[in-house]
Structure 1
Amino acid sequence: MTKLIRCLFFLLFVQPAWAQNQTPDQFLGYRLGSKFAYHHLIVDYFKSIQANNADRMKLIQYGTTYEGRPLMLAFISSPENMAKLETIRTNHLKSIGLLPGKPDAGVPPIVWLSYNVHGNEAVSANTSMKVLYELLNKGNALTQQFLKDIVILVDPCINPDGYERYTQWYNRVQNATPDVTPFALEHDEPWPGGRFNHYLFDLNRDWAWQTQKETQERITLYNQWMPHFHADFHEMGPSRSYYFPPAAKPYNKDVTSWQREFNELIGEYCRKYFDRNHWAYFTRNDYDLFYPSYGDTWPTANGAIGVTYEQGGGGRAGLALERASEHDTLTLDSRIAHHYASTLATLEAVMSRKEKVVSEFIQFHQDAAAAPLGSFKTYVIKTGGQARNARAFGQWLDRQGFSYGVAGKAMSAKGTELTSLNEQTIRIEDNDLVISAYQPKSNLLRILFDPKPALEDSVTYDVTSWGLAYIFGLKAYGLKEKLTPAAVRPAASDNALPESSPYAYLANWSESGDAAFLAELLKEGVLVKTSNTAFEMDKTSYSAGTLIIPKKGNEGIPFDKLVTSLANKHFVRLTPVKTGFVSSGPDFGNDNVVALKAPKVVAVAGDGISATAFGAIWHYFEQQIKYPVTIVNAAKLNTLPWNEIDVLILPDGRYNDIIGEKQLEGIQNWVKNGGKLVAMERATDAFVNKPGFGLTKKFSDKRRDDDTFKKFGEQQREEASDSSPGSMYQITMDRTHPLSFGCGDEYFTIVRDAYERDYLKEGWNVGYLKDDNYKAGFVGSKMAGKLKNTLIIGAQEMGRGQVIYLMDDPIFRAMLEKGKMLFGNVVFR
């Protein structure tokens, strides 16, 4: 009995301690900042805190990564706010017109804090645990006031796959006592690094395009909440201090005066913390508000206050790094302290203007819906012959949260074509897409459609042109009059099984999704042919590149059932034909009608290769067309079984130490025996002026006197003059070459560098830039000359094989629909 009484007393007195929140140190079993926490431990910590704070915290899983890790978001506020969380959300969306009805109460500011979009900027996820603990620490008077006034959303790690790639590596190689020596192994992160997600995409540049699973799932939730404020926490190089707003120029011209004012206010609150602690920082440099696909600019275009914070550190910093320039040692502890301070400054700034933060946000969306800015009040997308591309565009519009419809009837109107900027009378058909600017998100709509965004300052570090007409390869018009769209009608019915098996099925080759259809046909062992020239039959014209799927040669499969089911799966419209005779062009037995084989594709990865360029290729095959690609280490090129490979893709990279004379000879012999070599961007350097390869470099540079006497203080602008961070060009194409099939009359691309390749003397100059191919975006004065009269896409026959030279990446960030079309030609034709 005495033991039982003692046990009861023990339980009575320790139970309150169990109910208290554990600090990160207590939960992890080590001091926060002394080690990088694995992602599952961060998730478990958030779950453990929620268990004791059900009245003040709600943790949800909003998705999973490609590698299956959970994407989590914590909602934190006072018990009063949490009890009516869904009412706050719906009232908020009603107040800005994104839900029908009128709000029955005001709402507090909603602040979304995003940590660790770049995996090896690992301080952020670790900081999130300290932030969570202090927000729910009842002894912290400041944070408890935050909870009364604000609904706070905390995403501890936007990029778990990249974060775990970094932490797994670092925790394996670090010394027991962190080695602060800059050249130590623990400061030399191996390829591809932890910055990117599974497919090596930069998630911080994917907000507008939403090509990645993580982005799509996060923005689905974002659009359900539409926060008033979004803060994005990053790291930069370890030699730097700390960046917080005001942001650098250029600002997008559509950033409002209120957003600019609050950008300044954030800086004031951050300075208070940093000055008090004598911490170094900088403002108004490097980090601008122009390209609308970042974690600060995309929310800004959605009416929020979008802010980036950058802590010196990153993957090289590890747990501790000696910095000779600063005469100090940069530690994870200090990096956590800085991000924690800017988090508090953010919440203090919002709290100080809480009423105006909400009212300005409401006004932003109400004005957008009632009186949208800009010249165009309606956007019209022509869908004729591009039904599936238009369908994909509609899905993208849905992900953005835009409302749209169709014309509903045929009509004529005056409109500005958004690639040529020519005003003309256009014929609008009943099924053309119509997007009215009179909607709450019209500011984002206007920014993304902008064919030629104004750039107030040339010093910027990313894409400067992104017009949707270029990106999606659709004919788009801006109208000055308001059109009200009709509801989108259901898609046309599926292909039906014919009563009798046809001679062949025809399928157009004109949209990026066609490559996925072809890929699956080939994987299923279906014989597919294509015509290399246009033809006509039954009074219908078919362009070069049309797929011909014949009955003959496909006897061993359930031909009609398999082909029609795959066509329906990929939304492909089939045309069954009863003969191989055509009224104009090559008959189906002509030499110009060739069989397409299922190639064995190999792509190179590893040291020296651009991780993002390789990742775009990997994603293209696995996620876009779902066709197998074998990945090999670049260092193993000379050991490959060449007789087993049909296509070898060399992504952008530095191949000086990868392809020597022996490797070059082996590659050349393989090509001559029927292989296809695809060299992209800097990979083409390995073949310039090499025997047997027809690629040469233009020697157009002439040293100018003003280069000799350039000024040190103008170094940044001098570098900008020889750059193109991402400008839009129209490539002149040889429309008769198979690489151009399906790319349409206009092919636009985002040019980021000049390789100054001369035209091929022996081979095909498939795509090139002439004097007047520039369309939009910043191009430095020195770079502009290099981007004239230069080869962009070349094809050289070599024995029984061929070499494809791509001085431009057509699948850059998976953005360009016509680029995907071209890359499908590269692989399969």
Structure 2
Amino acid sequence: MKKLAFIMMLCWFWQANAAYYDETLASEVPAPEQILGFQVGQWHARHDQIQRYFEVLAEQSPRVQLEVIGTSHEQRSLLQLVVSSPDNLARLEEIRLQHVAQAQGNEPVSANSPVIIWLAYGVHGNEPSAANAAVVLAHYLAASNNPEVQQWLQQAVIFIQPSLNPDGHDRFALWANMHRGTNPVADPQHREHIEPWPNGRPNHYWFDLNRDWLLLQHPESRARIAQFHKWQPNIVGDFHEMGTNSSYFFQPGIPSRNYPLTPDRNFELTRILAGFHAQAFDQRGQLYYTEESFDDFYVGKGSTYPDVTGSVGILFEQASSRGHVQESINGLLTFADTIKNQFDASLSTIRGSVANRQALLSYQQEFFQTASQQARAERVKGFVLTEAHDRTRLEALLQLLAQHQIAVYPFTQDWQYEQTQFRAGQSYYVPLQQAQYRLLKAAFSTDKTFKDNTFYDVSAWTLPYAYNIAFTSVNREPGRAVADVPWQRQARARQTSLQADGYAYVLNWQDQLAPVALNAMLAEGLMVRAALGDFTGTTPQGERSFKAGAMVIPAGLQQHPDWFFRLQKIQERFNLPIYTLTTGLTSRGSDLGSNNFTPVSLPQVLLVAGPGVSSTEAGEVWYNLERLAGITPTMVEPERLARINLSRYTHIILPDGDYRGWQETEINRLRQWTQQGGVLWGQKRGAAWLVEAKLLQAGVWSSNEMAELIPQRDLRYADKEALAGKQRIAGAIFNAELDLTHPLTFGIGRKYLPVFKNSNLLLQPSSSPFVNVAGYSAEPHLAGYTAAEYLPRIAQGAALVAHNLGRGRVIGMTDNPVFRGYFMGSSRLLVNAIYLGHSFSASTQAEE
């Protein structure tokens, strides 16, 4: 024990006095410890401490400029440090314009053009070696007088983004620092190495920001991508951590799992740069490996998005100390060790990029030239997007494409293509022939077959499916039917002011903003009724038809003396059309006093979120409820359910999680609460548990039962990974067929709805009538990999079931309707469960 303590003390001493480089740096440039108050690696530097050090560097060094490019959800600054020679920094904008012109082929590649190197650290907050290595790197580049470094700064512009996820970074730094003792504890079971729920990996809303490069749901990602396209870097270093018992990984990854639209030359350059990384690690005798893990397939992560947009993205993975020091199969792993390796890989990235500067610059120009050539050779000329009723959802997709520099052109006149007429004002053309051809093709991909069926991440992400926007590939250009300039977001024309003295007022339910506006009405005390069927009412301008789900505000029911003023303010805030009705009589459908207009009340939502629940999926529910329903839920850990007052809540949501720890006490509480009028929603394992607890009257095909559909006889041990890949639905898109007469589908304009499945769980349809709200279509597979053996079973499954339980309702779904925040189409099912959960009645045989 004394020997172990002595070793640990030596480890701690080395860590506190870590030598990250073996040269003397310029003393006029402050070292990190002078500003932080400790050696890098001795403590986990907080984001504000990193920011302060970068601010001092920018003040003291002529080689450094600091930019704040945005803010996180928790209002932390998103930092971008630009490092280059003073001469380059003095003409930075000139360099940028020349670089972009060369990349796009508008100018020849100059022999003197600097290479643009982008080093991105800490997208996962609990992978702290990256952000702390950024501090060491910034100091070294700002203060080194090494001739090689001088050459780098002349021939490169280096971007250092120290923490792409500052909120998660500080969550982890606080945890690690609060458990740091006088002597480090390397025991893997020590509390320091076991993070609480949620851990530091995700951002404020518990999203994995390394999956958000394509989806851009969060301010951190939007700020990053704006700078990425502004500069079009040649190299992107993406720095991460992995398991403690690993070593160090750098790409290339598994060759069969590369995205097929990435040019071969990209992989050649990656291999060339790998030689520089290997040399750096060989000199120190450090372990590393390549090609055996990590794919480069999903285009929405930090090492792959660059590959389909003209850069060369390289993933780095360092074994994690997950604290200050930890035992591993390779000996004691200190925080300083991990920082040193990330620092060395950063230097080898710069060294290799400068050495191959001309090759990288020429490759980028070639990338865009070949993109143009390939686009011209395509039989498909582009895609047409169409949405008639939900402008908010459509514009969300258009804005997403615009952020990726994908041009979309509005139709200015109707256009006939084959048997379909695309109407102006509702349709938009996305030509393949544009600079971001590869990214566009990837974003609209519906591939179902792949060279390698094992995926580290999802195999499908088709953007129009996620937004439930109809899209059609076309083999000829629309020509004069579309505008000459691409769509740009503009302020909507202000809605006509509400007319006073109406009998009632109507808000259509189709627009994505309608539920948020409804929440504002209910919060203001307005009395609202939901139409359970289509109807035609009389307005001052004549007859107008309204779809089921329309929200009616009857003047005669309002109790606040200034209710009309409140309604006016809500319309001004959301800028949605609200129609005036002059009479309660309707020419079609029920009159306004009918029970087919059901009361809607302000929801009080409890989201079960805590240990045992998937923080990712709980965060997705939280985020989407706020954004698409206007509701911030109360969040309660599973273990507290038996002790809290449930009567104050109207809805309880069980995201994906393990609820097997709940006993009869919790089950009975949920049953009693639901019977008294609550709406209980479960998704994925939450839905499966509701079935097991006999709260949801349905069946489930379990993951094991689904896996048994895959033949397993006569397999060799070498087939083990392939079998696991075939049994897994890593992430694919399926077609759900909706009962559009059911209130839970109101506002969804089309019978078929794309849904995202990333588990093998599958609900069995109920034999009771009116309970199956949605099933899968006869040919359900839309995009992504799914074993052929699964498809007949999925076609038999139920996508959404809902029924009565006493005065309440139970709703289950084994897909994730709010996947990664961008599945805005299927999100409406959850939103409808919040506002229209009491608007249907369907008894099961058990209930009867």
Give the corresponding residue for 2:178.
172
Query: Contact (CA 8 Å) 2:534, 2:547: kept in 1 or not?
Result: yes
Gaps of 5+ in 2: 1-23, 837-848
Distance 1:93 1:504, change over 3 A: farther
Alpha-carbon separation, structure 2, partners of 1:449 and 1:707: 34
Name the amino acid aligned to 2:341: H
- Aligned residue among 643, 663, 674 for 1:660: 663
Q: How does 1:752-791 map to 2 (within 5 A)?
A: 752-762=758-768, 764-769=771-776, 771-780=778-787, 783-784=790-791, 786-791=793-798
* 1:479 matched to 2:489: no
Query: Contact (CA 8 Å) 1:720, 1:780: kept in 2 or not?
Result: no
Q: How does 1:721-740 map to 2 (within 5 A)?
A: 721-740=726-745
Give the corresponding residue for 2:520.
520
Alpha-carbon separation, structure 1, partners of 2:459 and 2:468: 18
Give the corresponding residue for 1:5.
none
Give the corresponding residue for 1:681.
684
Alpha-carbon separation, structure 1, partners of 2:462 and 2:31: 48
Q: How far did 1:795 drift?
A: 0.8
Q: How far did 1:347 drift?
A: 1.3
Q: How far did 1:720 drift?
A: 0.8
Gaps of 5+ in 1: 1-15, 415-423
Distance 1:789 1:334, change over 3 A: same
Which segment is superposed worse, 648-657 or 377-386? 377-386
* 1:261 matched to 2:260: no
* 1:358 matched to 2:394: no
Give the corresponding residue for 1:577.
581
Alpha-carbon separation, structure 2, partners of 1:628 and 1:17: 51
Alpha-carbon separation, structure 1, partners of 2:761 and 2:706: 12
Query: Contact (CA 8 Å) 2:763, 2:813: kept in 1 or not?
Result: no
Alpha-carbon separation, structure 2, partners of 1:719 and 1:499: 63
Give the corresponding residue for 2:550.
546
Return the TM-score normalized by structure 2: 0.89
Distance 1:360 1:635, change over 3 A: same
Give the corresponding residue for 1:302.
309
Name the amino acid aligned to 2:304: T
Query: Contact (CA 8 Å) 1:78, 1:147: kept in 2 or not?
Result: yes
* 1:594 matched to 2:598: yes
Which segment is superposed worse, 751-760 or 302-311? 751-760
Q: How far did 1:398 drift?
A: 2.6
1:160-215, Cα deviation, whole Å (9 max, x unpaired): 11010011011112332221111111111111100000110100000111111111
Query: Contact (CA 8 Å) 1:409, 1:431: kept in 2 or not?
Result: no
Distance 1:304 1:333, change over 3 A: same
1:203-237, Cα deviation, whole Å (9 max, x unpaired): 00001111111111222222221212111100111
Give the corresponding residue for 1:194.
200
Give the corresponding residue for 2:17.
none
Q: How does 1:270-309 map to 2 (within 5 A)?
A: 270-309=277-316
Q: Secondary structure at the match of 1:356?
A: helix
Name the amino acid aligned to 2:739: D
Residue identity (%): 26
1:231-288, Cα deviation, whole Å (9 max, x unpaired): 1100111121111111223222210122121121122221112223222222113322
Distance 1:62 1:608, change over 3 A: same
Alpha-carbon separation, structure 1, partners of 2:512 and 2:524: 20
Which segment is superposed worse, 106-115 or 662-671? 106-115
Alpha-carbon separation, structure 2, partners of 1:669 and 1:115: 49
Distance 1:704 1:750, change over 3 A: closer
1:98-134, Cα deviation, whole Å (9 max, x unpaired): 9x99999963111110000000001101111111122
Q: How does 1:141-220 map to 2 (within 5 A)?
A: 141-220=147-226
* 1:448 matched to 2:443: yes
1:313-357, Cα deviation, whole Å (9 max, x unpaired): 16xx3221112xx34122212211211121122112211221121
Give the corresponding residue for 1:714.
719
Q: How far did 1:606 drift?
A: 1.1
1:559-599, Cα deviation, whole Å (9 max, x unpaired): 44433442343342223221222222222111111011001
Distance 1:570 1:396, change over 3 A: farther
Name the amino acid aligned to 1:471: A
Alpha-carbon separation, structure 1, partners of 2:800 and 2:747: 16
Alpha-carbon separation, structure 2, partners of 1:239 and 1:671: 47
Alpha-carbon separation, structure 1, partners of 2:232 and 2:520: 39
Alpha-carbon separation, structure 2, partners of 1:477 and 1:771: 21
1:352-372, Cα deviation, whole Å (9 max, x unpaired): 221121122123234545762
Q: How far did 1:68 drift?
A: 1.5
Give the corresponding residue for 2:16.
none
Distance 1:688 1:766, change over 3 A: same
Which segment is superposed worse, 426-435 or 155-164? 426-435
Name the amino acid aligned to 1:68: Q
RMSD: 2.6
Alpha-carbon separation, structure 1, partners of 2:572 and 2:731: 37
Alpha-carbon separation, structure 1, partners of 2:25 and 2:284: 33
Alpha-carbon separation, structure 1, partners of 2:339 and 2:455: 28
Alpha-carbon separation, structure 1, partners of 2:527 and 2:160: 52
* 1:603 matched to 2:607: yes
* 1:341 matched to 2:344: yes
Q: Secondary structure at the match of 1:697?
A: strand
Q: Secondary structure at the match of 2:681?
A: strand
Alpha-carbon separation, structure 2, partners of 1:276 and 1:101: 40
Name the amino acid aligned to 1:676: V
Query: Contact (CA 8 Å) 1:235, 1:310: kept in 2 or not?
Result: yes
Equivalent pairs, count: 798
Distance 1:292 1:453, change over 3 A: farther
Give the corresponding residue for 1:236.
242
Q: How does 1:372-521 map to 2 (within 5 A)?
A: 372=375, 374-414=378-418, 424-429=419-424, 432-452=427-447, 455-483=450-478, 485-486=482-483, 487=485, 488=487, 493-521=493-521
Give the corresponding residue for 1:420.
none
Q: How far did 1:770 drift?
A: 5.1
Alpha-carbon separation, structure 1, partners of 2:561 and 2:229: 46
* 1:63 matched to 2:66: no
Give the corresponding residue for 1:140.
146
Q: How far did 1:454 drift?
A: 5.3
Q: How far did 1:91 drift?
A: 2.1
Distance 1:781 1:687, change over 3 A: same
Alpha-carbon separation, structure 2, partners of 1:607 and 1:178: 27
Q: How far did 1:391 drift?
A: 2.1
Which segment is superposed worse, 696-705 or 762-771? 696-705
Query: Contact (CA 8 Å) 1:91, 1:102: kept in 2 or not?
Result: no
Distance 1:569 1:476, change over 3 A: farther
1:649-685, Cα deviation, whole Å (9 max, x unpaired): 111111112x210111011011111111111211223
Query: Contact (CA 8 Å) 1:96, 1:366: kept in 2 or not?
Result: no
Give the corresponding residue for 1:627.
631
Q: How far did 1:20 drift?
A: 1.4
Distance 1:665 1:96, change over 3 A: same
Give the corresponding residue for 1:128.
134
Which segment is superposed worse, 662-671 or 784-793? 784-793
Q: How far did 1:815 drift?
A: 1.2
Alpha-carbon separation, structure 1, partners of 2:309 and 2:525: 47
* 1:51 matched to 2:56: no
Q: Secondary structure at the match of 1:688?
A: helix
1:468-512, Cα deviation, whole Å (9 max, x unpaired): 220111111222223464145966632222444322222222232
Give the corresponding residue for 2:81.
74
Distance 1:701 1:601, change over 3 A: closer
Query: Contact (CA 8 Å) 2:26, 2:143: kept in 1 or not?
Result: no
Distance 1:784 1:313, change over 3 A: farther
Q: How far did 1:426 drift?
A: 3.7
Give the corresponding residue for 1:556.
560
